[in-house]
C-alpha cells in the first residue's frame, strides 16, 4: 500500500515535468492554497492513523491507514496539478520555476514519508523509534508544503483571485459559477443522449457496438452522478453560508472566507471542464479518432 502511494505521487511528478501537460488550467491561486491545506491535513491524518497502528500492535486494523494513505497521496497529486496550472500567472520564468520547484520538493518529502514507513525499515526498531520516524516525516512534509503555501499567496493578486478585496455581491458571483457548472453538466448529458441515438457505423461488429454502448452508458452514469454532486454542493454551500454569516451579508461571509470561496468556484469550473473532456473523448473513441486509453 505504501508503494502504491509512492507510485501515485511519481505519476503526478511525471505529469508535472511533462511539457505536454499544462496542469489544471482552471486553477486559481486561491484554489491551490485550499489544495495545499488539504494536503497538510491529510498528511497529519495519515501520520496519526499510522501511529495508532504502531501503538495497537497485532490487534490493530490497517483499513484507516489505507484510507488516509490514498487521500494523502491524491492530495499531493492535486497540489502538483494545480501548482503547474497557476504558473500561467507568473510574471517571469524565475517565479514560475520557484513554485514548481517547491511543489516538486513537497512531493519528494511525501514520497520519502511513505518510503520511511516500509516494513524493512521499521521492523527492527522500537515502538518509540517508529513513532519518532512517523512524526519527523510528517513535520518535513508540513515544512515544505508551508513554503509552497507562501509562494502561492504571492500569486493571489496576479490571478485576480483575492476575493476579500472584491466589490459587488460575491454571493451572486458564486451562484452564477455554480449555475454555469450545472448548465455545463446538463449540456453534456444532452449531448450524450444525442450520441446514443447516433446511427452506428455499418462496419462495426456486434461486439464493437456493444462496447460503444457500454462506454456511453458509463459516461451517462458519471454525468448523472456529477449533476447530483453539483446540486448537493450548491445546497451544502448555501447551508454553510447561512450558518456562518450571522448578522452579516453573504458577500461579507464570502470575503471573510475568500480561500474557501475560491476553492468552491475553481472546483465547480474544474468539474464542468473535466466532464466535457470526458464527453469529447467518449465521442472520439466511438468515432475512431481517439484511443480507449485516452478515455
Q: State the chain's mean pLDDT as an integer.
A: 84
Residues 258-269, mean pLDDT to the nearest whole number = 75
Tell me what pLDDT residue 101 has. 95
Q: With 90 as the cut, is the pLDDT of residue 98 above it?
A: yes
Q: Of 88, 118, 153, which marks where a domain is finished?
A: 153
- The domain that holds 175 is classified in CATH as 1.20.1410.10
**Is the same domain home to 172 and 275?**
yes
**When comparing pLDDT for 87 and 219, which is higher?**
87
Q: With 70 as the cut, is the pLDDT of residue 92 above it?
A: yes
Tell me what pLDDT residue 260 has. 73
The answer to the question of residue 172 being in a domain is: yes
Residues 134-160, mean pLDDT to the nearest whole number = 85
The answer to the question of residue 276 being in a domain is: yes
User: pLDDT confidence of 142, banded at 50, 70, 90?
Assistant: very high
Q: Of 109, 132, 153, which marks where a domain is finished?
A: 153
Q: Are 266 and 174 in contact (CB under 8 A)?
A: no
**Is the same domain home to 67 and 169?**
no
Buried/exposed code over 222-261 (b: 16+ C-beta within 10 A; e: otherwise) = bbeebbeebeebbeebeeebeeebeeeebbebbbebbbbb
**Is the same domain home to 107 and 235?**
no
Q: How far apart are the C-alpha atoms of 8 and 12, rounded to whole Å?
A: 6
**Is the same domain home to 11 and 131?**
yes
Least confident range of 31-45, 221-235, 260-274: 260-274
**Is the same domain home to 90 and 174?**
no
The answer to the question of residue 15 being in a domain is: yes
Q: What percent of the chain has pLDDT over 90?
A: 36
Phi-psi region of 115 (alpha: psi -120 to 50; beta: other; left: phi over 0): alpha
Total number of domains constituting the chain: 2
Q: Of 153, 187, 217, which marks where a domain is finished?
A: 153
The answer to the question of residue 292 being in a domain is: no
3-state class (DSSP) for residue 49: helix
**When comparing pLDDT for 139 and 216, which is higher?**
139
Q: With 90 as the cut, is the pLDDT of residue 1 above it?
A: yes
Tell me what pLDDT residue 276 has. 81
**Is the same domain home to 144 and 6?**
yes
* CA triple 217-70-13, angle to 5 deg: 90
Tell me what pLDDT residue 31 has. 85
Q: How far apart are the C-alpha atoms of 197 and 212, rounded to whole Å?
A: 12
Residues 88-115, mean pLDDT to the nearest whole number = 93
Tell me what pLDDT residue 165 has. 52
**Is the same domain home to 185 and 111?**
no
**Is the same domain home to 137 and 187?**
no
**Is the same domain home to 144 and 17?**
yes
Q: With 70 as the cut, is the pLDDT of residue 156 above it?
A: no
User: pLDDT confidence of 158, banded at 50, 70, 90?
Assistant: low
The answer to the question of residue 8 being in a domain is: yes
Q: With 60 as the cut, is the pLDDT of residue 160 above it?
A: no
Tell me what pLDDT residue 126 has. 92
Residues 160-189, mean pLDDT to the nearest whole number = 72
**Structural domain boundaries enclosing 199:** 163-287
**Is the same domain home to 149 and 167?**
no
- The domain that holds 6 is classified in CATH as 1.20.1420.10
The answer to the question of residue 294 being in a domain is: no
Q: With 60 as the cut, is the pLDDT of residue 244 above it?
A: yes
Amino acid at each position: 500500500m505504501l508503494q502504491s502511494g509512492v507510485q501515485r505521487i511519481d505519476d503526478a511528478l511525471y505529469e508535472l515535468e511533462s511539457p505536454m501537460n499544462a496542469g489544471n488550467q482552471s486553477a486559481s491561486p486561491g484554489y491551490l492554497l485550499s489544495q495545499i491545506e488539504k494536503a497538510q491535513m491529510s498528511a497529519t491524518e495519515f501520520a496519526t492513523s499510522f501511529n495508532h497502528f504502531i501503538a495497537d500492535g497485532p490487534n490493530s486494523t490497517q483499513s484507516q491507514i489505507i484510507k488516509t494513505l490514498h487521500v494523502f497521496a491524491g492530495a499531493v497529486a492535486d497540489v502538483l496539478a494545480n501548482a503547474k496550472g497557476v504558473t500561467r500567472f507568473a510574471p517571469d520564468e524565475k517565479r514560475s520555476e520557484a513554485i514548481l520547484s517547491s511543489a516538486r520538493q513537497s512531493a519528494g518529502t511525501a514520497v520519502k514519508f511513505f518510503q520511511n514507513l516500509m516494513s524493512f525499515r521499521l521492523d527492527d526498531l522500537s515502538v518509540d523509534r517508529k513513532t519518532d520516524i512517523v512524526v519527523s516525516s510528517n513535520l518535513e512534509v508540513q515544512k515544505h508544503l508551508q513554503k509552497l503555501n507562501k509562494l502561492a499567496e504571492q500569486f493571489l493578486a496576479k490571478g485576480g483571485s483575492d476575493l476579500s478585496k472584491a466589490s459587488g455581491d460575491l454571493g451572486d458571483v458564486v451562484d452564477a459559477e455554480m449555475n454555469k457548472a450545472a448548465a455545463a453538466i446538463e449540456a453534456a448529458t444532452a449531448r450524450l443522449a444525442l450520441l446514443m441515438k447516433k446511427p452506428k457505423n455499418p462496419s462495426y461488429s456486434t461486439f464493437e457496438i456493444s462496447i460503444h454502448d457500454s462506454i456511453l452508458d458509463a459516461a451517462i452514469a458519471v454525468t448523472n452522478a456529477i449533476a447530483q454532486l453539483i446540486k448537493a454542493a450548491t445546497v451544502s454551500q448555501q447551508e454553510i453560508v447561512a450558518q456562518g454569516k450571522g448578522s452579516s451579508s453573504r458577500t461579507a461571509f464570502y470575503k471573510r472566507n475568500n480561500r474557501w470561496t475560491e476553492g468552491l468556484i475553481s472546483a465547480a469550473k474544474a468539474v464542468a471542464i473535466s466532464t466535457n473532456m470526458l464527453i469529447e473523448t467518449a465521442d472520439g473513441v466511438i468515432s475512431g479518432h481517439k484511443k480507449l486509453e485516452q478515455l
